[in-house]
Structure 1
Amino acid sequence: MFQRNVFDSHHNPLEMIPTTTEELGKIRDDDVDSKSGSENLEGGSGDEQDPNQRPKKKRYHRHTQHQIQEMESFFKECPHPDDKQRKELSRELGLEPLQVKFWFQNKRTQMKTQQERHENSQLRAENEKLRAENMRYKEALAGASCPTCGGPTVVDEMSFDEQNLRMENARLREEIDRISSIAAKYVGKPMVSYPLMAPPIAPRGLDLSVGNYGMQPGLQGGEVYGGPDLLRSVTGPSEAEKPLVIELAVAAMEELVRLAQLGEPLWERGLENGFETLNEDEYMRTFPRGIGPRPYGYRTEASRESGIVMISHMNLVEILMNVGQWTNIFSTIVSRAITLDVLSTGVAGNCNGALQVMTAEYQVPTPLVPTRESLFLRYCKKHSEGVWAVVDVSIDHLRPAGPVMRCRRRPSGCLIQEFPNGYSKVIWVEHIEVDDSRPVHNLYKQLIHSSLGFGAKKWVATLDRQCERLASVLASNMPAGDGGVITNNEGRRNMLKLAERMVMSFCAGVSASTAHTWTSLTGSGGEDVRVMTRKSVDDPGRPAGIVLSAATSFWLPVVPKKLFEFLRDEHTRTEWDILSNGGVVQEMAHIANGREPGNSVSLLRVNPANSSQSNMLILQEGSTDSAASFVVYAPVDLAAMNMVLTGGDPDYVALLPSGFSILPDGQILNRGGAVDVGASGSLLTVAFQILVDSAPSAKLSLGSVATVNNLISCTVERIKNSIAGAKHEL
């Protein structure tokens, strides 16, 4: 809808467009008659008329009210009917197919014109407002005087207020130029540029010591292991597309802020689950402009959630505008992300006005839920002192011939408000349209449809949990309760850094990413076990050779919190861990990194039952929030762990993470009037990664596949038996 029609320069296109639905039925029917061989003129044929006589005016056909209502109804569902649909409509309504075709053409033109008129009015008002503000700042600067002597202010004595005015003026200048250029396309006026009163301040680099551990450009968060990689086949916008991208960013930002602030009837709170969901009919009335109608076969998911998080508003803004840090923070949701183009880095030394074009792949940590790939722009804007917004919106509709992204993001993102003591209030909006042709496994349908899989609640819960973890990483002193073999803060940070990479690798390796190729096997217990192989070469963080990954997901009749406590507890580990061989598991080090007792990183030692020596160390992280829980672990060489704890680089420690992801099943229970979502059971994914051959060129044997399949099946059986045996306690 953001592509413009080319009109005759000698006519005003707005005067040529029908303004009522009834007028649409009158236009082009003469064309229908001419194309079918009949001019439908009053009087005789052209041969019988006097050549000097002026021919009579053609008689227009008016559609009946029934025909208009039927076509209006069809237009709401499908504004672009194909030939088959037009023929079917023409038979039902008694019209010619070309009459139906022209009616839909005129209807689309009418809708576009109405939207452009509204946009034109808004842009004019905004433009005039910014011009007035700019002039006020110019007058303030011209009249600035020294507070001591009353004389003109020189640069060295420039007041703090004047510095702010100069920076704000630079921002306004960019805003005015940009909006004027957009308005010029509508009203035909030349673009007005104001003189720059102060040179723009170069944007400062990010200086956040918050978990951007060892990330290399181009490998943001997820790991790519070959296969059909959709994300890397996408390119940034062309020069012709960039004006449309900028225009879309402005409209999307306005929509996001209103979505975050408006209440009923736009947002409705569910009686069963208490979640806020979008009223789609009200949305279309409130926001007629957008990225076009929902594609056929797509399903809408829209939700809103708010929360208070332990991070300053500016740190959060900078994390969201840095693709590496954003992927790290949301590694359980975002498997991979790439910045294709940076259209603006912002003004006044911060992210205000920053605009990027990105691709991302969103995941649920299981092979049974397809990932969602999206091509979108990300725009950041400061709205007032202490209030910022970051919006995402898809741009793949601007390039119909490009790769098919099966997830469209209508304006989504967050409104961030500064709170005291380094906290921030976040209002998160997720509004997406997803292709339902890639089916979700029946186990996970309720989770996805309840917005616990990809919705706003998941994003806010993950952000809250990760902000707690960042606070633990940044702690300058050894907190009380941490200890064991950890004797200094550097060793503590290195252990947290290693654990973070372990969890990210686990999540990226267990999802149904487009970079993975899973093969289904049948486990001994009847579960559907998915396996895949990956070659590791020249990767210091992974053993060299052939790695076999296996994962399975199933339902358990136990609430997620209880299942999480069972799996993370070293005292019950021998009940399900086959590799421990019934030995005693002892916690050698413990780092708390959240409010919940289970949010921690541990170093475990396994003493086999048939030996007095400890020959195995296990690094483990437990993480839980209201939307998901994880228990991830990896065997670690004793010498490598000693190196990490004494200040060595943890990026060179080879890890093959295994573990569990625990999600609520999405069922809704009411207990004593309180809503409990996902309380009836848990969706557990069990995943293993094993090095089956140290030679990357080796061939995988069927025996290795059978061994891993048996390992995962036995683990599942042990967990089920333990849960069944202790169900009265759980």
Structure 2
Amino acid sequence: MAMVAQHHRENSSGSINKHLDAGKYVRYTAEQVDALERVYAECPKPSSLRRQQLIRECPILSNIEPKQIKVWFQNRRCREKQRKESTRLQSVNRKLNAMNKLLMEENDRLQKQVSQLVCENGYMRQQLHTAPAPGNDASCESAVTTPQHSLRDATNPAGLLSIAEETLAEFLSKATGTAVDWVQMPGMKPGPGSVGIFAISHSSSGVAARACGLVSLEPTKIAEILKDRPSWFRDCRSLEIFTMFPAGNGGTIELLYTQAYAPTTLAPARDFWTLRYTTTLDNGSLVVCERSLSGTGAGPSAAAASQFVRAEILPSGYLIRPCEGGGSIIHIVDHHNLEAWSVPEIAQETSGEVVYSLGRQPAVLRTFSQRLSRGFNDAINGFNDDGWSLLNCDDGAEDVVVAISSGNKNLSSGSNAISMLGGVLCAKASMLLQNVPPAVLVRFLREHRSEWADFNVDAYAAASLKNTYAYPGMRPTRFTGSQIIMPLGHTIEHEEMLEVIRLEGHSMSHEDAYMSRDIHLLQMCSGIDENAVGACSELVFAPIDEMFPDDAQLLPSGFRIIPLDSKPGGDLQDPSVPNKTLDLTSSLEVGPTTSSNGKNSAASYSARSILTIAFQFPFESNLQDNVASMARQYVRSVISSVQRVAMAISPSGSGPTAVPVFTFANQAGLDMLETTLVALQDITLDKIFDDSGRKALFSEFAKIMQQGFAQLPGGICMSTMGRHISYEQAIVWKVFAADESTVHCLAFSFVNWSFV
């Protein structure tokens, strides 16, 4: 019996060893590994049939069983997953180390500042006990008087080097010191997933901002990118280096002339004459600092000089410090004085990472968004040296400015340049908006294009891509109302989105009934988040060809809304801000209400903003007057539509309600809602409609505001007791106040309702 057991154990051990040999403990030759790696690169998880096919196709794998191949691919996927996780953890660790270093340095700086303040406080206490009469000592006043630095004109290299050294010292005192009273922006806390630490100036001349963070690039590469300002800063029209020479200490000094776009038609563009100093510090950090020089310096031609106002850059720049293990910590200071009492300023850096789809590479998408933004800025500014000239208005009204250009740069780029007998015409206007949240307005314009756009005008602009100018006598086309948004990409934080819009149209003539009249637009949308800090809101689009080549010709038009006032009071992190377009109805005055919800930003918004509209159209020389008249009337029509929408968005001046509430109902309505007339005013509109009902209501909201009524399809709503109610249809109409000029409320009638 013992022998049998021993024999069984030996056989069992032998089978185990055989299984191990035939399993995962297989040694592969280099040729076999190469063959498997090639397959893994194509398909990391091959099926059983694919593995068997692999063995048949590769003779060097014929001595390996399919099960062993399966185990190899499993192990290979695990190693790849571990490698990616290890790389991610290393990246997070580097970020944490860098942020920890920043926080330690900030803590040291604050400790020193506290010590200094304690000493000064003790000294002041001592002076208070021993000081003579206040009127006999002026030393305190003289002690706090700081001489103001005056800019000097550079006449020789020695003078430039002296200015450069002073600029470096002042910049470093701002970047890492207390030369400016910095106030950290709320909600900007450091962490491995954050960009860095942001601060704004307090009680300093001009406008200053400071930021620091970790960048996964070497210092020299970062400096190279930052110096090429037009490639990442969309407000920068041009940057020209007039002279460059070594500074003698390994650095370089450059004299620059820079032009910046004006964000609106109401303000002239700015230009700068500056000195830029690049050098390396003793600790290995790389510094690029810049400041304005006195004197006229370089400038535009005499013909274009009237379109620019000389502004000032106070000591600003970049401090780039290498990190252990790769990457760099970068400190940025931006300090400007735009020499204006009320010029809107916007920042549109394009350094954010792009998330993309539909097979487009991030660099291509970034190029498209830059071209859209630059073309829109060119249209708004209309610089003379770009060939733009103003066109006199025949009707005497000056609400819409019309400019023409026969040398528009946006149409001469690319391999498929449009040959034009005439040129490009731009109709533009700016208007003041009161109490209109820019983000909500841009969202409405984006999602409901049919409420303000003319399909035939879009079709005319799109025809320029095929060189078929059909004005006048355009083929009659009916817009179906269908707008399909196809996303291309967006930045990580969704500050900006790039998308293709397809507008479906059908010909109204029988001979063209089966021809597609669809229009495709490349569209960039930004600033649709109410909680965003400081950015403007934009909707810029341009017609493109159906094939959408990478060198597609772009003729951008669109809207830009720039806030003039700071954000209204309240919690910026309040999650109750309106993110659904249904909240447009909250601006309607629906009578007395007991609702005390004052956190709705659309209802409590009280600020001013500037809306700038610009539309571009190609034209033939013999049709210039016709196209100009059409463009002027079209922009006026768009302005009128936007004003109607803005009135709906803007809260009423006489006690606006945060959420629409019910004020009256007949007995059938009270029975349906299962409430009383007294408790009716505690019921808000959003409590009885589900998502589909709210969407149906808002889809008809514009029609209600324009024609006064609309019919909603059947659906489900809810009573105050939580019971579901079905109805065949609902009719909504406007009820005017006694003066018949303002909307008092909306009335609802539910037809054939019943409890489910």
Q: How high is the TM-score relative to the length of structure 1?
A: 0.50
Taking structure 2 as the reference length, the TM-score comes to 0.48
Q: Tell which structure's C-alpha radius of gyration is larger.
A: 2
